[in-house]
RNA sequence: AGGCGCGUAGCUCAGUGGGAGAGCGCUACCUUGACACGGUAGAGGUCGGCGGUUCGAAACCGCCCGCGCCUACCA
């Protein structure tokens, strides 16, 4: 075998390796599902395996990859790679969302910059421009996902406005319309005056803001000297008032009900009415009723049969129903003028500071207007009831009670309550948007009769007389296509081969802020159109925040760009987001960045990013991240790289030598059995954690295994055997370490796919060549296609216990060395008195390795401690070091005092329990026994320590 | 206002009834042959407070304090 030994680089060159490896996976078709969309076999080995499907939450085509995407897609990739390796037919469906308002805004700005008014350009041409934009930039975010290593089946990439998905949208709309679940109505909607469109409740961000409350006098019609004082925050809407309401139980005002008041500034006569809506506690207790501009007032108006008066245009300028001087004014200009005139007329009684929640458009950020308009709605009640039933709830006494098992499980489970609460209090969903980019509502109005036709395609009658009909101008809310996503991407409404095989899917991973926007609605759609829920489990990940716990956002400039991690950034690039956001502490932030990263930030690679994200996940509300944490993640990748490299180099050296070919490797010894037992435990734990969506716990397990068990102990202990002259011993160590490393790479692959694939490429051939696999030879050339490891044996606690003696022994020597400042390069001889049956055999068997780890010349076994020797006491052994030669007496006495102190504390605790009759009587026998053992052990060691201490103190005199 | 969650080492967080843990940071020492993106040893904690349940509470229950998130209302 003529393998030449190669250099092993100190660091994983991810810049070079990641693109190369990703291309290799694509070439190999490693991400493709076992069957193509028509049902043809792609991978015969898995063609009949159980499918495991995830559909990606489609990122907006306008989106740039942010940390939330990075986290969510890493989670999905971990799951899909795990299941793929574990024998499932794994399918991860990718795609993008057309993001109606967001995309139209981006292109509108582009047109603005070119001096083109999109309204003049017209609907068709503008939509054409948006399509062009999406062809050019719409897939950017998908290529960023590729950089992260996401293993989507790219041949199945979908777009919410592609032909199939558009058909699905029309189908869903028509079916709902025919079922009476879609209706058109005049309602108060959230209205964005900048984008001039309705917004759903979820698209409105509410925050407390400081404002004013105005008390305005409304004089009575029959006696202008008398008046009611009305409190309002929106004086400019008074032109739309149709009544003044007081609470029917409010003694102060009851007598005025039925009289009329004169509307200030306009003179219109309106009635004083009694309505529960008026809160006596609030303001003056009199409230103006403006049905066209307030949802509550709209209801009051309906109750009292009052006709709404709309006072604004769609851009929130005042309409012609207001007095002349106000017409065409912006709502806030109008407010200013109205207040001035009210004041001049002596009608403005008071102005008070007032904190109130102001709703703003999530997109344009301007305060929304409540606007009365014709909109399309989905009736949510019946859909929510289906979802509640599917979650195992039944309606009883007006409330919902859990009776059965949920059809979809939310993780963490606390989201179940939130989900239920939302379902039980659901409101109808306004689905029409007054923009051009999106699925145009498939409804046609007759120009004369107003008759409405709704159909999947242009109806026969419309085609016959096109001039008599006009199609609805509005498009559908973006989420109207998103809620069909798990179904439509797989072919619905056709029952395609894909749909039959891969729907329903298994897992949905998402951020919590879109549970209602999206997850709940997907459940509705699944139940309504297919009768099944679209997935079995929903994993809701925590919110990513910066190190201070503040949500990362563009407007705060505190985000970490995933591409910074993968590609690195200069100081200037790091500062860029802050400069764009310009928060109040801009200067301080810029300085801080300069101080912490004077030379910019070195890229850490996709693996380190993925590792850090997975490792940081916790069950709490948020995950705090900083650039430093990713550096720690990179350190882990480097640690694995170097540990693996040492094993691979040893294997390659073995392959290069001629003299040992064919020598049978020695059978695994205690140390080997320990490593394999630890590996088995780690595999078991990882599988359990993955199945339970406990990614953070999995990360902890993997970290500990790689860093401590594999590198610090197994590898250190193997070094002497790697260089042994005994062929069998050497090959025995290589066999175990090589095989354990292979399993470790398999175990880590879902989280850090690139570095493991790279190491696999170097490990597998040399292991094959040497024929040193502990069990079967791996079948796959690429790790991505390998099997996820399974434990070799049941748990073996006794194996781990035996090895722990050796670990404690090594640590004991190191402690004694440290207190006495014995340099590492000074090798010493220690004496041991074995107390446990396994102590002597273990230490003899691993003599060479233990000497290497503890920097010893030799370990001598003795019956007794000789006078003057320092000692370390353990339940399994006593360790002696010749004091005269090495030890600093005073430091050693101080150390003994500390040990004595610790043991005394421990003994006190144990004694206190044992002296408590209640404990001995009522605690389980094993617990009492364990406590006795502990007390005995502490007592024995304490006696030994005290004796030694006394002797040393004598000497020190 | 209601709901949900959190409070454990300087920082970020594990720990669901029986001897307080990890990583980072800190201190001291170490260029030893995979790794200084490393190694060894160490310092550091009335587990937010009070009460209860229990033989035994960081954990379970109640109240309080502090923090975060969500929902609704706020003329």
Q: Per residue in A547-557, pLDDT tens? A: 878 888 777 78
Q: Which two tokens mark A446?
A: 């007759």
Distance A901 CA to B60 C1' (A): 33
Mean pLDDT of A7-23: 93
Across chain A, mean pLDDT equals 89
Summarize pLDDT for A311-340 with one digit per residue, the tens: 999 899 999 999 999 999 999 999 999 999
Straight-line distance from CA A620 to C1' B59, in Å? Answer: 17
Residue A916, CB, strand B, below 7 Å: yes
Phi, psi of A795 (to 5 degrees): -55, 140
pLDDT at A3: 44
A72/B24 CA-to-C1' distance in Å: 25
C-alpha to C-alpha distance for A855 and A19, rounded to whole angstroms? 44
CA atom of A482 to C1′ atom of B68, Å: 30
The tokens describing A477, both together, are 């809310």
Other C-beta atoms lying within 10 Å of the C-beta of residue A956 = 10
> pLDDT (tens digit, 9 = 90+) per residue, A735-783?
999 999 999 999 999 999 999 999 999 999 999 999 999 988 998 889 9
Residue A4 has pLDDT above 70, yes or no: no
pLDDT score recorded for residue A365? 81
Q: In whole angstroms, how far apart are CA A710 and each of A27, A607, A754, A844?
A: 33, 20, 20, 22
Q: Is the CB of A938 under 7 A from strand B?
A: yes
Across the range A597-611, mean pLDDT stands at 91
Beta strand A409-411 pairing with A877-881: unpaired
DSSP E strand boundaries for A50-164: 51-55, 89-93, 95-96, 158-159
Does residue A26 carry a pLDDT above 80? yes
CA angle A890, A892, A898 (to 5 degrees): 105
* Range 527-556, chain A: CB under 7 Å to any strand B atom: 547, 549, 551
- This prediction's pTM: 0.89
Quick one: which residue's CA is nearest to B13's C1'?
A618
Task: Provide, in whole angstroms, the distance separating residue A922's CA from nucleotide B17's C1'.
Answer: 13
Express each pLDDT in A384-442 by its tens digit: 888 888 888 887 766 677 777 788 888 888 888 788 878 877 888 889 888 889 999 99
Is the minimum distance from the CB of A688 to strand B below 7 Å? no
Chain A window 215-234: residues with CB closer than 7 Å to nucleic chain B are 230-234
Round to a whole number and report the distance in Å from the CA of A407 to the C1' of B61. Answer: 32
Q: What is the pLDDT of residues A688-730, one digit of tens each?
A: 999 999 999 999 999 999 999 999 999 999 998 999 999 999 9
Residue A487 — left, alpha, or beta (φ > 0 → left; ψ -120 to 50 → alpha)? alpha
Q: Is the distance between the Cβ of A418 and the closest atom of strand B smaller than 7 Å?
A: yes
Pick from A73-77, A202-206, A550-554: least confident? A202-206
Q: Report the half-sphere exposure of A623 (CA within 13 A, side-chain side).
A: 25
Residue nearest to nucleotide B67 (CA to C1'): A549
Euclidean distance between CA atoms A87 and A626, whole angstroms: 36
- Phi and psi, residue A388, nearest 5°: -65, -40
A895 nearest nt, CA–C1':
B42
The alpha carbon of A649 is separated from its chain's Cα centroid by a whole number of angstroms, namely 38
What residues contact residue A747 under an 8 Å CB cut-off, 6+ apart?
A682, A683, A686, A702, A788, A789
Residue-wise pLDDT for A829-887, tens only, equals 899 999 999 999 999 988 988 999 998 988 999 999 888 888 889 989 999 988 666 66
Sign of CA dihedral A438, A444, A448, A450: negative
Pairing of strands A537-541, A507-511: parallel
Q: Calculate the angstrom distance between C1' of B19 and CA of A846.
A: 30
Between A513 and A56, the higher pLDDT residue: A56
Q: How far apart are CA A369 and CA A708, in angstroms?
A: 60
Per-residue pLDDT averaged across A538-566, rounded?
85
- Which of chain A's residues 505-524 bind strand B, using a 7 Å CB cutoff? 513, 516
Q: What is the pLDDT at residue A398?
A: 65
Helix, strand or coil for residue A540?
strand
* φ, ψ at A327 (rounded to 5°): -60, 135
> What pLDDT was estimated at residue A1?
40
Any strand B atom closer than 7 Å to A894 CB: no
Please, which residues bridge with residue A399 across strands? Answer: A396
Q: CA(A27)–C1'(B24) in Å?
A: 40
Q: Report, as an integer, the average pLDDT of A250-269.
A: 89
Closest CA to A820 of A878, A873, A895, A877: A895
Give chain B positions with protein CB within 7 A.
3-6, 11-15, 18-20, 22-24, 29-43, 54-56, 68-75
Q: Which nucleotide is nearest to A515 (CA to C1')?
A: B70
Tell me the ipTM for this assembly.
0.95
pLDDT band at A640 (very low <50, low <70, confident <90, very high): very high
Is any atom of strand B within 7 angstroms of residue A864's beta carbon?
no
As beta bridge partners, residue A91 has: A53
Q: Can you give the pLDDT at residue A883? A: 66
* Range in A144-153, A582-591, A659-668 with the lowest mean pLDDT: A582-591
């Amino acid at each position: 075998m003529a393998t030449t030994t190669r250099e092993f680089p100190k660091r994983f060159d991810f810049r070079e390796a990641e693109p190369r490896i990703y291309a290799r996976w694509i070439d190999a078709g490693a991400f493709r599902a076992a069957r193509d969309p028509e049902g043809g076999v792609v991978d015969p080995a898995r063609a009949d395996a159980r499918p495991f499907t995830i559909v990606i939450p489609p990122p907006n085509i306008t989106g740039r990859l942010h940390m939330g995407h990075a986290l969510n897609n890493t989670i999905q990739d971990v799951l899909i790679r795990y299941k793929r390796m574990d024998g499932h037919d794994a399918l991860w469906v990718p795609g993008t969302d057309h993001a109606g308002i967001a995309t139209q805004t981006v292109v509108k700005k582009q047109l603005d910059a070119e001096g083109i008014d999109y309204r003049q350009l017209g609907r068709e041409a503008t939509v054409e421009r948006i399509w062009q934009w999406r062809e050019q930039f719409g897939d950017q975010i998908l290529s960023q996902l590729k950089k992260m290593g996401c293993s989507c089946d790219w041949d199945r990439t979908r777009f919410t406005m592609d032909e199939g998905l558009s058909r699905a949208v029309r189908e869903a709309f028509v079916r709902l319309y025919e079922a009476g679940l879609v209706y058109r109505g005049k309602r108060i909607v959230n209205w964005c005056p900048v984008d001039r469109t309705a917004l759903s409740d979820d698209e409105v961000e509410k925050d407390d803001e400081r404002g004013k409350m105005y008390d305005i006098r409304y004089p009575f019609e029959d006696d202008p000297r008398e008046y009611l004082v009305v409190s309002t925050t929106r004086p400019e809407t008074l032109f739309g008032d149709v009544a003044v309401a007081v609470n029917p139980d409010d003694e102060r005002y009851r007598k005025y009900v039925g009289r009329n008041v004169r509307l200030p500034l306009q003179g219109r006569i309106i009635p004083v009415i009694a309505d529960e809506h008026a809160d006596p506690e609030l303001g003056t207790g009199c409230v103006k009723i403006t049905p066209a501009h307030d949802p509550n007032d709209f209801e009051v108006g309906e109750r009292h049969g009052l006709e709404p008066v709309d006072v604004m245009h769609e851009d929130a300028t005042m309409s012609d129903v207001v007095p002349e001087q106000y017409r065409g004014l912006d709502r806030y200009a109008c407010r200013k003028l109205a207040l001035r005139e009210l004041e001049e007329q002596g009608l403005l009684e008071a102005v008070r500071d007032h904190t109130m929640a102001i709703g703003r458009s999530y997109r344009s950020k301007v305060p929304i207007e409540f606007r009365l308009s014709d909109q399309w709605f989905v009736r949510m009640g019946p859909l929510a009831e289906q979802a509640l039933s599917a979650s195992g709830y039944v309606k009883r006494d007006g409330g919902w009670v859990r009776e059965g098992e949920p059809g979809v499980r939310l993780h963490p489970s606390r989201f179940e309550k939130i989900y239920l609460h939302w379902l039980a209090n659901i409101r109808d969903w306004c689905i029409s948007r007054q923009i051009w980019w999106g699925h145009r509502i498939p409804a046609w109005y007759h120009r004369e009769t107003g008759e409405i036709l709704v159909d999947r395609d242009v109806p026969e009658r419309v085609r016959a007389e096109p001039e008599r009909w006009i199609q609805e101008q509005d498009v559908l809310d973006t989420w109207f296509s998103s809620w069909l996503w798990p179904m439509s991407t797989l072919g619905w409404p056709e029952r395609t081969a894909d749909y039959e095989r891969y729907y329903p899917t298994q897992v949905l991973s998402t951020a919590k802020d879109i549970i209602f926007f999206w997850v709940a609605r997907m459940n509705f759609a699944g139940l309504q159109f297919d009768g099944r829920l679209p997935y079995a489990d929903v994993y809701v990940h925590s919110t990513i925040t910066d190190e201070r716990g503040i949500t990362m956002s563009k407007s705060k400039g505190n985000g970490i760009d995933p591409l910074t991690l993968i590609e690195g950034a200069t100081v200037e690039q790091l500062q860029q987001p802050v400069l764009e956001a310009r928060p109040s502490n801009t200067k301080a932030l810029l300085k801080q960045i300069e101080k912490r990263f004077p030379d910019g930030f070195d890229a850490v690679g996709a693996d380190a990013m993925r590792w850090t994200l997975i490792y940081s996940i916790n069950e709490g509300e948020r995950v705090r991240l900083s650039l430093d944490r990713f550096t720690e993640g990179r350190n882990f990748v480097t640690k694995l790289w170097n540990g693996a490299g040492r094993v691979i180099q040893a294997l390659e050296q073995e392959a290069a030598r001629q003299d040992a070919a064919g020598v049978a490797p020695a059978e695994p010894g205690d140390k080997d059995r320990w490593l394999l037992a630890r590996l088995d435990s780690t595999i078991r734990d990882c599988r359990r954690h993955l199945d339970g969506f406990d990614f953070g716990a999995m990360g902890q397990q993997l970290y500990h295994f790689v860093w401590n068990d594999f590198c610090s102990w197994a590898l250190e202990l193997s070094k002497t055997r790697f260089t042994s002259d005994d062929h069998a011993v050497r090959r025995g160590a290589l066999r175990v370490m090589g095989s354990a490393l292979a399993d470790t790479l398999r175990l880590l692959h879902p989280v850090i796919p690139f570095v493991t694939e790279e190491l696999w490429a170097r490990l597998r051939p040399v292991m094959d060549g040497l024929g040193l696999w502990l069990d079967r030879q791996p079948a796959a050339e690429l790790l991505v296609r390998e099997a996820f490891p399974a434990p070799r044996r049941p748990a073996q606690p006794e194996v781990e216990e035996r090895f722990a003696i050796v670990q404690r022994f090594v640590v004991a020597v190191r402690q004694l060395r440290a207190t006495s400042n014995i340099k590492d390069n000074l090798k010493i001889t220690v004496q041991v008195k074995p107390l446990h049956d396994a102590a002597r055999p273990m230490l003899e068997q691993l003599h060479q390795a233990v000497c290497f780890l503890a920097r010893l010349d030799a370990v001598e076994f003795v019956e007794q401690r000789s006078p003057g020797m320092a000692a370390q006491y353990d339940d399994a052994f006593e360790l002696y070091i010749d004091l005269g030669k090495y030890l600093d007496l005073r430091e050693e006495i101080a150390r003994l005092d500390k040990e004595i102190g610790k043991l005394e504390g421990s003994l006190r605790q144990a004694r206190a329990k044992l002296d408590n009759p209640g404990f001995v009587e009522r605690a389980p026998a094993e617990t009492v026994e364990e406590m006795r053992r502990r007390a005995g052990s502490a007592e024995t060691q304490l006696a030994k320590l005290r004796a030694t201490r006394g002797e040393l103190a004598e000497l020190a005199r």
